[in-house]
């Protein structure tokens, strides 16, 4: 059984195709796969501005690499003029969505791992409700899309796609590096309790005290006589 993140699909998931795909991946892929569903991150649009980005699925395997997978269920139509429709509603190009999410994921990994991990990283689109020959789709989908025809052996199809991806890494990554990749995407973190957090809070307290002392200095500069009370060791004294 695959290691799914999250363990169970969110009840807020509206796409029936994603729900079916989640259950299939969870049941049929073995534990060498780590599979993220509805992976959210920040990316950049065509103008270079930050936008919210979400990949339907991100599949990772230490030997085969990583795949960003866009799911498009129901009736999907291409009008021959560059527009795409899903269940009669115009949508962005699924291929472009998957590609941009791949770029955003690559940038995220590079930032968090302080350099390019040289992982095989590909993108694809899965149409689980169509039996159409993929060669009838627009050229951009050639060699990077799956249909219902691939569903019975979708794992092998994904491995085959990743095997075609060229990368400078020519061998299986180490277990340590694989764990680092997963951790960078789904870190274990407890906030407010680390040594760094405690030091930061102490510094904040020190800065507050310093501001209070500055206010007192400004106060006594206005008067010839002042009495300032404080506990032992605070350095407070009476000015005349």
Write 76-79 long-range contacts (CB < 8 A, 24+): 76/127, 76/130, 78/137, 78/138
Residues ≥6 apart with Cβ < 8 Å to 156: none
Our measurement of the distance from residue 68's CA atom to the centroid of its chain's CA atoms, rounded to an integer in Å, reads 11
**Which pLDDT does position 222 carry in this prediction?**
76
The confidence score (pLDDT) of residue 99 equals: 94
Report the pLDDT value the prediction gives residue 164, as an integer from 0 to 100.
84
Please say whether the beta carbons of 186 and 58 come within 8 A: no
What is the band of 231 on the pLDDT scale with cuts at 50, 70, 90? low
Of residues 137 and 208, the one with the higher pLDDT is: 137
Q: Which CATH class is domain 3-185?
A: alpha beta
CA–CA dist 61, 106 (Å, integer): 15
- Where exactly are the structural domains of the chain? 3-185, 195-239
| Stated length of the chain | 240
**In terms of pTM, does the model score above 0.85?**
no
Whole-number average pLDDT of the chain: 85
Instruction: Evaluate if residue 70 carries a pLDDT over 90.
Output: yes
Nearest CA-CA partner of 95 in 60, 127, 66, 63? 127
pLDDT for the residue 194: 66
pLDDT at 137: 93
Position 5 scores a pLDDT of 95
């Amino acid at each position: 059984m695959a290691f799914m993140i999250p363990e169970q699909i969110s009840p807020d998931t509206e796409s029936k195709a994603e729900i079916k795909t989640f259950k299939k991946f969870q049941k049929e892929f073995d534990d060498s796969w780590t599979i993220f569903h509805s992976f959210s991150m920040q990316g950049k649009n065509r103008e270079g501005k930050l936008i919210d980005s979400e990949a339907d699925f991100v599949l990772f395997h230490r030997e085969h690499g990583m795949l960003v997978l866009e799911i498009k269920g129901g009736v999907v139509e291409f009008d021959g003029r560059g527009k795409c429709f899903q269940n009669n509603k115009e949508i962005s190009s699924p291929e472009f969505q998957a590609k941009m999410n791949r770029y955003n994921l690559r940038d995220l990994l590079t930032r968090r791992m302080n350099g390019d991990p040289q992982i095989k990283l590909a993108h694809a689109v899965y149409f689980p409700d169509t039996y159409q020959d993929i060669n009838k789709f627009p050229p951009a989908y050639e060699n990077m899309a799956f249909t219902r025809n691939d569903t019975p052996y979708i794992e092998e199809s994904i491995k085959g796609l990743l095997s075609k991806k060229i990368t400078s890494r020519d061998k299986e990554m180490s277990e340590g590096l694989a764990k680092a990749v997963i951790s960078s995407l789904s870190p274990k973190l407890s906030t407010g309790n680390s040594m760094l957090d405690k030091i930061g809070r102490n510094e904040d307290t020190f800065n507050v005290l310093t501001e209070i002392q500055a206010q007192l200095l400004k106060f006594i500069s206005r008067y010839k006589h002042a009495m300032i009370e404080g506990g032992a060791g605070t350095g407070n004294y009476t000015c005349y």
